[in-house]
Amino acid sequence: DTEVTQTPKHLVMGMTNKKSLKCEQHMGHRAMYWYKQKAKKPPELMFVYSYEKLSINESVPSRFSPECPNSSLLNLHLHALQPEDSALYLCASSQDSQVILFFGSGTQLSVL
Amino acid sequence: QQQVKQSPQSLIVQKGGISIINCAYENTAFDYFPWYQQFPGKGPALLIAIRPDVSEKKEGRFTISFNKSAKQFSLHIMDSQPGDSATYFCAASRRAGGYQKVTFGTGTKLQVIP
């Protein structure tokens, strides 16, 4: 299994809603990432978990809250988002011995 | 110093032609230079990658040329096909404590016309 699975594929939420994005991989990768991608832009790193510990938080607003319950799962909890947070949210994973990022297909988020 | 500059921003090539995308980096600490291909509605996927001690790598129709002294690398797509129409991101990465620190280029939208 060489897939990173993200759910849901699409999400529409209001500014007062609370929602969560989920990511799962069964490749045994010990690093997992959240990226944000705006249209026609490269992916922008938000968070990195390495061995289930938060290693990087790229000064992301607290309305985004990551969680890594175990080595296969990564969540991104969303609360009180702004319309400018509308984007494609990508999860990725990598193994320490490799230099490849494996990306999921993303969650297309629209904040109304 | 973390930038990776990529050009052109967009590229239109006829079927069977050669597509060329160029990138330049500044930080010599990078130790891996991948190219990612992204189709609409999908996440990026690794296309081909090279280490800085190699000057060229070829996989099928895709070739990376790497010039370490100039800090430049490029992707050549030979015999370009309509199915190659996608956005291409060059990247530069280095290992950092169990994960990859990746800096992406700005992207090139390639359109291959029949």
Q: What are the φ/ψ torsions at residue A84 (nearest 5 degrees)?
A: -70, -10
User: In chain A, whose CA is at the least distance from the CA of B94?
Assistant: A99
Over pLDDT 90: what percentage of chain B?
Answer: 86
pLDDT at res. B32: 93
Tell me if chain B has a CB within 8 Å of the CB of A106: yes
As averages over each run of 10 residues, the pLDDT of chain A (112 residues) reads 90 94 95 96 96 93 96 96 96 86 96 94
Residue B1 pLDDT exceeds 80: no
Residue B109 class from Cβ within 10 Å (0-12 exposed, 13-18 middle, 19+ buried)? middle
Cβ-based neighbours of A22, under 8 Å, separated by 6 or more = A6, A7, A73, A74, A75
| Rounded CA separation A92/B17 (Å) | 33
- Reading the block at residue B47, the tokens are 């296309």
pLDDT at res. B96: 84
Question: Mean pLDDT throughout B53-74?
Answer: 96
pLDDT at res. A98: 74
Interface A–B counts its CB contacts (< 8 A) at 65
8 Å CB contact of A108 and B41 = yes
Cis peptide before A61 (omega within 30 of 0): no
Query: The tokens 């000057």 sit on which residue?
Result: B55
Residue B45 pLDDT exceeds 90: yes
Question: Mean pLDDT throughout B78-91?
Answer: 98
Residue B82 pLDDT exceeds 80: yes
Residue B85 pLDDT exceeds 90: yes
CB atoms within 10 A of CB A69: 9
Q: Edge-to-edge, what's the strand order for the sheet holding A64-70?
A: A4-7, A18-25, A73-79, A64-70
State the average pLDDT for chain B: 95
Q: How many CA atoms lie within 13 A of A102 on its CB side?
A: 21
Strand runs (DSSP E) across B4-105, as ranges?
4-7, 10-14, 19-25, 33-38, 45-50, 56-59, 62-67, 72-77, 86-96, 99-104
8 Å CB contact of A99 and B100 = yes
Question: Mean pLDDT throughout B90-106?
Answer: 91
| Rounded CA separation B107/A63 (Å) | 28
Question: Mean pLDDT throughout B99-111?
Answer: 95
- Reading the block at residue A36, the tokens are 């944000």
Question: Mean pLDDT throughout B70-89?
Answer: 98
- The alpha carbon of residue B66 and the mean position of all alpha carbons in its chain are separated, in whole angstroms, by 11
pLDDT at res. B36: 98
Question: Mean pLDDT throughout B39-53?
Answer: 94
User: In chain A, whose CA is at the least distance from the CA of B32?
Assistant: A99
Residue B2 pLDDT exceeds 70: no
Query: The tokens 């990078």 sit on which residue?
Result: B30
Tell me if chain B has a CB within 8 Å of the CB of A40: yes
